[in-house]
Structure 1
């Protein structure tokens, strides 16, 4: 039985860094710390991070949280993680990483994946025979942009053959963290998904398929054993226990990748109840009772932590990373032009600027494709830009345009999502760092024409979801019981005049994509596709 004095040490490792929280079984975050992690851009289309940087960030943040003394260490009943998905870490038999982690943004594997698609008959760029098998068994197919482990592993195999030979296992980010915590090589039913080697037709019995593994081009023995998100996979290693000051008997629950944990931490566990995550990336997701795939729209329903259910996910590469880009590369970029100390709370100031600027940014429009896009078009050549600037505009105009442009990009997914779910969502719970912005929640409500729910501490939803998964894994609480503790602080109803205005703007947004896509292809299309 659960009691109010039990806590989970929850790890939320995103692209921007590692957050660690002490979360009660009722979802209260009583201690919180964050450490940033550097993103490394390689050859303009590659994105990497150092796995040791993840671990160092975790240990430092965990020590800070534990040192606060808010909770007795004896009341910590488990460690459970939520991490960025679709990253790839090749490790040797000793669990040592052999190179930097290849992230979900990385497109270098596209050229090698396209070689695997050779065949007489193609559908939407895929080998038709392979595509049919992927869809039937997996419920999806490798991203032709190369942004998932299917492309990453081929990149290692063909571009770094010496590392491929030394690789004992390919691990996703979550799997690597669990290895560092417990010493166990394993993958969860959701972390393995975008390797596209598992039969997902029974959500309660996800298993490897020999034919799919053969299609992947990767040796069978390089894939780790499979576990469920709610499985207890071991206890923490002695060196981890010593570093954190925890009992070496502390259990580790397998946990989940970010979109799975977020759906639970947002409280959206019922069928078709949508959440919108706005962090470095962005997605809309909802649990559904069926396995279905839309190849053209890049939407699928995937295995998740909730028994007997799938999670519909529509993922975009562009989210609050656009605001981070605006802050770090434009507003606060250290080039000698601006002197003085930056604001201690730049994001709050940007939110205030966006709120006071007129709807429509005085005609300026922002296209938020900093690193290509995935849904509803899988196009690695797209890039960001500001359209229709004039002499009357200023930096404040651009701030408002960026906020609106990201929301318009999300709206681009809504029609395919409605087709996929065969219903229109009336409400969406918004989480992630972007949901801290009241101005953005208002913009999203008007742009999407839905009621936006803003939960308490929306940036901590992933950590809260990991805690709920941990509690379920220990048998302390069912997931449907846990999500009842998620509190909605504020709701934003769409304004009909604003919605009509954004309807027109959305038409211009999609027309800009149609007209500019061929130019983006000319400028950027050759990147990642050489030597095909």
Structure 2
């Protein structure tokens, strides 16, 4: 295998495709972005897979042309890694070409089929024991697959996640891993595979590795899904293959360039922030003066021990369209009451899956309603940055409820909806804007203590990535509301793509997949103790409002 001269990372999100070129030493050389459109007609939520593919081709070709212009010499040999949104299903032919639209994570059409599975005695226990999540639908890929099979019961399309769709188009080989197929809910996740351990000769690790390369027979039987409609499961620690000659010519790379197995964007955020490196029990000593006390109960308010060094773990926080909290998990576990569970990490071990719901989409949506400068306008979020700088914590008593598309962890509700509470005649436009950013922070603060209870550790620092990290003032708001130190990673808006690139490089070399110098040179943002009184009070009001409005949301959804 020819050693690559650079790595390409692709991040297919819900609203755009980001591509980076990274040198062999991990330096960011170039980056590109292409927008994506969605067709949102509840319960339908779809994307055009050809638009995704064209965006990938254009972005990669532009990065390669910037780093290695064609007249300068032969086409470079590259390693390509792909991360993407997940629980978004693409039906494909044997060569990876799509046969229908992407059924996105917001699509609910398979929920009824999942509920029929759930009504069968023993299925709830079977799925929780083997996989971790019962067959509940609600946008998970199992529901998508059941829906697509019902629409075309005699078809021969295979159903893959977006990252595996892109690797299939690059290589002509349709594959997946236990990690990428997590939300299809057809794999046994009870044992960690031996990829990271490197010793599959031992009986326990050999059995776990074998289980990770097949779909669980009992889950397949219970679901009624023919495994021929699913992609081949492969080991995640070696490349899927080489780019096809046709694709190589379009990208401007050598045909011997390799394509790594894909990962979901939550796992990529764990790599980008360093949260994945803790899987073997590594802990972080923090001396920032505002780490929470050890042993916090998930239903207690956070108690601080200012000035005292604490030992705990870091967590990655990715804020893009959604907000996701990720850290290492000690093993397979689930907290179904709060929708927190562990999922297989791409290369061994487990990660916490804690999807908090909409993140950056919340202020973006409210800004659009207020006729302000939305995320797509010139001077992205410019008005919001001014509002954050010019208003006091607490937004003049206004609370934003961020559940514009329902709530997820730590309290799932399909009927929950957003709003602004506490608006008075004295409320200013800037206070309304500030409240939308604080509302996302309050939702994260609510989730964080349940994640701490789940892993049995205190989270002593948040490493922030995603486009939300680039909104001036928002990282400090998060530090204050969540009451944890926040460190912004380098190049946060492309950190997921960069992590995918470095992981691809690691699959064909001896280097680590961990991003070099992932932390920003900016200092850690400590929470401001002067904000505690207002934010602690608002946190209690935030959670109480969710509980109080439950019956109202149910009435509205049924009317």
TM-score, structure 1 as length reference = 0.89
Note if contact 1:146-1:152 (Cα within 8 Å) is conserved in structure 2.
no
Question: In 2 relative to 1, CA 113–483 (structure 1 residues): closer, same or farther, beyond 3 Å?
Answer: same
Q: Write the deviation string for residues 162-217 of structure 1: whole angstroms up to 9, x where unpaired.
A: 3x432421111111111111111111221101111111222212131110112223
Instruction: Tell me the equivalent position of 1:313.
Output: 353
Instruction: Tell me the equivalent position of 2:186.
Output: 197
**Matched position secondary structure for 1:489:** coil
Distance 2:432 2:378 in 1: 21
Distance 1:256 1:95 in 2: 17
Note if contact 1:229-1:469 (Cα within 8 Å) is conserved in structure 2.
no
Task: Work out which of the residue numbers 278, 281, 300 in structure 1 matches 2:319.
Answer: 278
Task: Work out which of the residue numbers 149, 156, 162 in structure 1 matches 2:148.
Answer: 156
Instruction: Tell me the equivalent position of 1:241.
Output: 248
Question: In 2 relative to 1, CA 408–237 (structure 1 residues): closer, same or farther, beyond 3 Å?
Answer: same
Q: CA deviation at 1:469?
A: 1.1
**Matched position secondary structure for 1:208:** coil
More displaced stretch, 12-21 vs 463-472: 463-472
Note if contact 1:22-1:30 (Cα within 8 Å) is conserved in structure 2.
yes
Query: How many pairs does the alignment contain?
Result: 502
Question: In 2 relative to 1, CA 509–456 (structure 1 residues): closer, same or farther, beyond 3 Å?
Answer: same
Distance 1:454 1:111 in 2: 41
Instruction: Tell me the equivalent position of 1:451.
Output: 485
Instruction: Tell me the equivalent position of 1:266.
Output: 273
Distance 2:385 2:2 in 1: 39
Question: In 2 relative to 1, CA 361–186 (structure 1 residues): closer, same or farther, beyond 3 Å?
Answer: same
Q: Give the unaligned 5+ runs of structure 2.
A: 194-208, 280-312
* Residue 380 (1) aligns with residue 379 (2): no
**Matched position secondary structure for 1:374:** coil
Instruction: Tell me the equivalent position of 1:134.
Output: 127
Distance 1:67 1:387 in 2: 50
Instruction: Tell me the equivalent position of 1:486.
Output: 518
Question: In 2 relative to 1, CA 521–155 (structure 1 residues): closer, same or farther, beyond 3 Å?
Answer: farther
Q: CA deviation at 1:76?
A: 4.2
Instruction: Tell me the equivalent position of 1:49.
Output: 47
Note if contact 1:11-1:19 (Cα within 8 Å) is conserved in structure 2.
yes
Q: Give the unaligned 5+ runs of structure 1.
A: 120-126, 335-341, 527-532
Question: In 2 relative to 1, CA 488–69 (structure 1 residues): closer, same or farther, beyond 3 Å?
Answer: closer
Question: In 2 relative to 1, CA 477–140 (structure 1 residues): closer, same or farther, beyond 3 Å?
Answer: same
**Matched position secondary structure for 1:232:** coil
**Matched position secondary structure for 1:68:** helix
Q: Write the deviation string for residues 313-369 of structure 1: whole angstroms up to 9, x where unpaired.
A: 2012211111332344543599xxxxxxx9621324322322221111111111111
**Matched position secondary structure for 1:345:** coil
Superposition CA RMSD, Å: 2.3
Question: In 2 relative to 1, CA 417–244 (structure 1 residues): closer, same or farther, beyond 3 Å?
Answer: same
Question: In 2 relative to 1, CA 39–217 (structure 1 residues): closer, same or farther, beyond 3 Å?
Answer: same
Instruction: Tell me the equivalent position of 1:503.
Output: 536
Q: CA deviation at 1:410?
A: 1.0
Instruction: Tell me the equivalent position of 2:161.
Output: 172
Note if contact 2:395-2:434 (Cα within 8 Å) is conserved in structure 1.
yes
Distance 1:6 1:246 in 2: 11
Distance 1:332 1:293 in 2: 41
* Residue 299 (1) aligns with residue 299 (2): no
Question: In 2 relative to 1, CA 60–135 (structure 1 residues): closer, same or farther, beyond 3 Å?
Answer: same
